[in-house]
Amino acid sequence: MNTLEIRDLRLSFRLPVGTVEVLHGISLRIARGERVALVGESGSGKSVTARIILGLLQEQRGVRLAGDIVFQGRNLLRLPPRERRAVRGTRISMIFQDPTSSLNPVFRIAPQFREVLARATPDLSEKAARARAAELLDEVAIPDAARVLDSYPFQLSGGMNQRIMIAMALANRPALLLADEPGTALDVTIQAQTLDLMRKLVVDHGTSVLFISHNLGVVREFADRTYVIYRGRIVEAGPTEAIFHDPRHAYTRALMAAQPRITGGGLPDIPERSDDFLAPLIEHEAAP
Amino acid sequence: MIPVLRLAAKRIGTSLLVLFGVSVLIFCIARVIPGDPARVALGPNATAEQVANLRAQLRLDEPLVAQYGHFLADLARGDLGRSLYTNRPVTTDIAEFLPATLELILVAGIMMIAFGLPLGILAARFRGRWPDHLIRVLSLLGVSAPSFVWAVGLMLVFSYYLGWFPIAGRIASQFEIGRVTGFLLIDTLLAGNGAAFRSAAAHLVLPAFALALSGIGQAARLTRANMIETYETPYIEMARAYGFPERRVANRYAFRPSLIPSLTIIGLDLAALLGNAFLVEAVFGWPGLSRYGVQVILRKDLNAIVGTVLIISAMFILVNIIVDVLTVLLNPRIRHAQRGATP
């Protein structure tokens, strides 16, 4: 059974000037333990999709949604708000772009960690929470957990905060992890280390991952399957290797050409818009 | 904790300099306003000789610098001179009238924080919905009229028409309360007199509220604005993504970081209560230091003017020091910078 299945998801915002549709019918699925990437440029609708899955967008006014988001057999879009919220932080969790600004600057790590643990175990004592947090920090290769727990986020390095974010995200053993451009704010070596760590942990725990990124190099290393999104539409989908070997959609090819080569050759020339980019979905068959 | 104490000590040191400056300034200003204090004190029938005698007694015939020297020498012994108006040492007058003003200002300050901050939190949390609109209109009203206008308005409606509160004074006249601290709320409790306590509290409500209103409005508006800014940060999105209850997100995760920038302004507003108390005390016949200050200025009672202004400046500075220390305590970034820790 799929952990997550999104069918024909449409999102529009009601504005004073009329209704603007942002997502034009997105469908994707993530099997248990599968790592799936959603790739596209900024404004394509990838981050918004993650926020709809979490139910964050629904709480804003003027948001209209249609379609289905089935998570572990339940349609999240049809759940009453209270039950939808209960899923957050327990069975679905999220990692954000910039770890240091995603942690509250006026609280130490320990109470923030405890609050996350309390989502799944409300009656956890302070001492037990601390012990559990130290264990989880050990999993993300933070050796001196006691010092880190008593620190404020600004006293720790970006890489350290990213490890803390990963530990928090997996603390309640969620079935689905949404990773929205994780570590984009970090430098490349730290980003590679923390992504490697994250992959190891999600494989160990059998966590499904929706990995949102514009960085094709990272996606290729991380994801089993990839969806390419362009202006609110999925334009190409299939096993990551198949897409990278044989990109068939004009936009996918443009996206790949847009990656500057380490060997030089200048910045590639990509058209801003092209009718080819709006061509219908291309689906690669199952992985070989 | 130690760095905080060091900061406080440093601030107290610099504030002594400020107080010295204030004393020079007020000493000179009090002496250049037109009118002869001796003539005012003795009344229109006094002879030129009597006036001259009093001037000599007050050392008003000496040069300004020498007068200031005498003043400093007396001040070092804790003597602010005698008041011509009450014919008592100024320190005795201040000790009598200051507690009433402090009581009024403390209660107004508590009201300002206890109403202003929660209203700001509510407005930010329900931004764009009816609680927000209501709070914004009310706080704008509070900010836009000066406190003596509120004092007259509140007195008219709640004391005169509705009769819910006494019109003026600190306590009903039938109560004889022994003076211990000068704070009637405390003294009535010490005397074990419940009826007197209720009377003192009822007398305090309207003047304190009138005094607090603009501060409440200001604190609510400021808290709302800072909270709305904090709501846009990634760490609030993360708190929501982890499903923390919206109430807790507001009261803890968004409020705490928002309080730091608000605190300085709220501190200034608290200190400003001292100045606004002048007119509110006048409206409600409140026997406090501010009313005393107005009377001595009108009579050109030099020692009393200088003494009153110095005490009020000292309290102003004290509030600012407290706010500075609180800011450091609330903001871990500054607290750790003080300790010399590098991130």
In a domain, A246, yes or no: yes
Nearest CA in chain A to B245: A85
Helix (H, G, I), strand (E, B) or coil at B80: coil
Question: pLDDT at position A11, please?
Answer: 92
Partners of A61 on chain B (C-beta within 8 Å) are 128
A56 close to B (CB below 8 A):
yes
- B305 and B199 part of one domain: no
CATH of the domain at A46: 3.40.50.300
Q: Is the confidence at residue A183, as pLDDT, over 80?
A: no
Q: Where are the alpha helices (DSSP H) in B232-254?
A: 234-241, 246-248
Question: B243–A104: do the CB atoms touch at under 8 Å?
Answer: no
In A140-198, beta strands by DSSP E = 176-180
- B142 and B281 part of one domain: yes
A98 close to B (CB below 8 A):
yes
Question: A94–B256: do the CB atoms touch at under 8 Å?
Answer: no
A 10 A CB-CB count for A268 gives: 12
Question: A96–B238: do the CB atoms touch at under 8 Å?
Answer: yes
- B128 and B276 part of one domain: yes
Q: What are phi and psi of B285, to 5 degrees?
A: 55, 40
- B123 and B256 part of one domain: yes
> Average pLDDT in the B174-180 region?
75
Contacting B residues, span 228-247, partner chain A, CB-CB under 8 Å? 233-235, 237-244
Q: Where are the alpha helices (DSSP H) in A11-157?
A: 46-54, 81-87, 99-102, 109-120, 126-139, 145-149
Instruction: State which residues form the domain around A228.
Output: 2-99+178-283
In a domain, B96, yes or no: no
Sequence letter at residue A156: L
> Using 50, 70 and 90 to split pLDDT, how confident is the model at B337?
low
Quote the tokens at residue B121.
């939190």
> Using 50, 70 and 90 to split pLDDT, how confident is the model at B339?
low
In a domain, B60, yes or no: yes
Quote the tokens at residue B311.
């005490």
> Using 50, 70 and 90 to split pLDDT, how confident is the model at A1?
confident
Q: How far lies A258's CA from each of A55, A219, A251, A261, in Å? A: 33, 15, 10, 9
As a whole number of angstroms, the distance between CA A24 and CA A17 comes to 19
Question: B241–A54: do the CB atoms touch at under 8 Å?
Answer: yes
Q: Tell me, what DSSP letter sits at residue A88?
A: B
In a domain, B93, yes or no: no
> Average pLDDT in the B107-115 region?
92
Identify the residue among A59, A87, A96, A102 best suited for mutation to test binding to B, counting B beta carbons within 10 A and taking the highest.
A102
User: Nearest-5° angle of CA A265, CA A271, CA A274?
Assistant: 145
Instruction: State which residues form the domain around B150.
Output: 110-263+272-286
Domain count, chain A: 1
Contacts of B80 (CB under 8 A, 6+ apart): B74, B89, B90, B91, B94, B303, B306, B307, B310
Partners of A168 on chain B (C-beta within 8 Å) are 242
Q: Is the confidence at residue A230, as pLDDT, over 80?
A: yes
> Using 50, 70 and 90 to split pLDDT, how confident is the model at B342?
very low
Q: Is the confidence at residue B248, as pLDDT, over 50?
A: yes
Query: Residue A28's beta-bridge partner residues?
Result: A6
> Average pLDDT in the B80-93 region?
83
Sequence letter at residue A73: G
In a domain, B94, yes or no: no
Nearest by CB to B241, from A88, A98, A156: name it. Answer: A88
- B131 and B277 part of one domain: yes
Q: Is the confidence at residue B1, as pLDDT, over 60?
A: no
Partners of B244 on chain A (C-beta within 8 Å) are 89, 115, 119
In a domain, A128, yes or no: no
> Using 50, 70 and 90 to split pLDDT, how confident is the model at B48?
confident
**Spatial contact of B293 and B30, defined as CB atoms under 8 Å apart:** no
Contacting B residues, span 289-308, partner chain A, CB-CB under 8 Å? none
Per-residue pLDDT of A83-99, as tens digits, reads 888 899 899 999 988 88
Question: pLDDT at position B65, please?
Answer: 85
Quote the tokens at residue A164.
């803390």
Per-residue pLDDT of B277-331, as tens digits, reads 888 888 888 888 888 888 888 877 888 888 888 888 888 888 888 888 888 888 8
Number of residues assigned to chain A? 288
Question: pLDDT at position B85, please?
Answer: 79
Question: B237–A102: do the CB atoms touch at under 8 Å?
Answer: yes
Mean pLDDT over the full length of chain B: 84
- B134 and B278 part of one domain: yes
- B320 and B177 part of one domain: no
Percent of chain B with pLDDT over 90: 12
A89 close to B (CB below 8 A):
yes
As a whole number of angstroms, the distance between CA B316 and CA B318 comes to 5
Question: A102–B240: do the CB atoms touch at under 8 Å?
Answer: no
Domain count, chain B: 2
As a whole number of angstroms, the distance between CA A189 and CA A196 comes to 11
In a domain, A261, yes or no: yes
- B193 and B339 part of one domain: no
Q: Is the confidence at residue A12, as pLDDT, over 80?
A: yes
> Average pLDDT in the A119-145 region?
90
Distance from CA of B250 to the nearest CA of A (A): 13
Question: pLDDT at position B69, please?
Answer: 85
Give the DSSP H/E element, type plus range, for residue B201: helix B194-231
Nearest CA in chain B to A83: B243
- B195 and B142 part of one domain: yes
Nearest CA in chain B to A81: B243
Question: B244–A154: do the CB atoms touch at under 8 Å?
Answer: no
Partners of B125 on chain A (C-beta within 8 Å) are none
> Average pLDDT in the A195-212 region?
89
As a whole number of angstroms, the distance between CA B150 and CA B209 comes to 9
Question: pLDDT at position A265, please?
Answer: 67
ipTM of the complex: 0.86
Nearest by CB to B233, from A101, A107, A154: name it. Answer: A101
Mean pLDDT over the full length of chain A: 87
A90 close to B (CB below 8 A):
yes
- B221 and B314 part of one domain: no
In a domain, A153, yes or no: no
In a domain, B327, yes or no: yes
**pTM of this prediction exceeds 0.90:** no
With b meaning 16 or more CB within 10 Å and e meaning fewer, what string describes A60-80? eeeeeeebebbbeeeebbebe
Number of A:B CB contacts under 8 A? 72
Question: pLDDT at position A17, please?
Answer: 87
Distance from CA of A88 to the nearest CA of B (A): 5
Q: Is the confidence at residue A187, as pLDDT, over 90?
A: no
In a domain, B294, yes or no: no
- B177 and B54 part of one domain: no
Instruction: Give which of B228, B205, B215, B194 is closest to B284, Cα–Cα.
Output: B205
- B280 and B313 part of one domain: no
A116 close to B (CB below 8 A):
yes
> Using 50, 70 and 90 to split pLDDT, how confident is the model at A161?
very high
> Average pLDDT in the A59-81 region?
88
Nearest CA in chain B to A103: B235
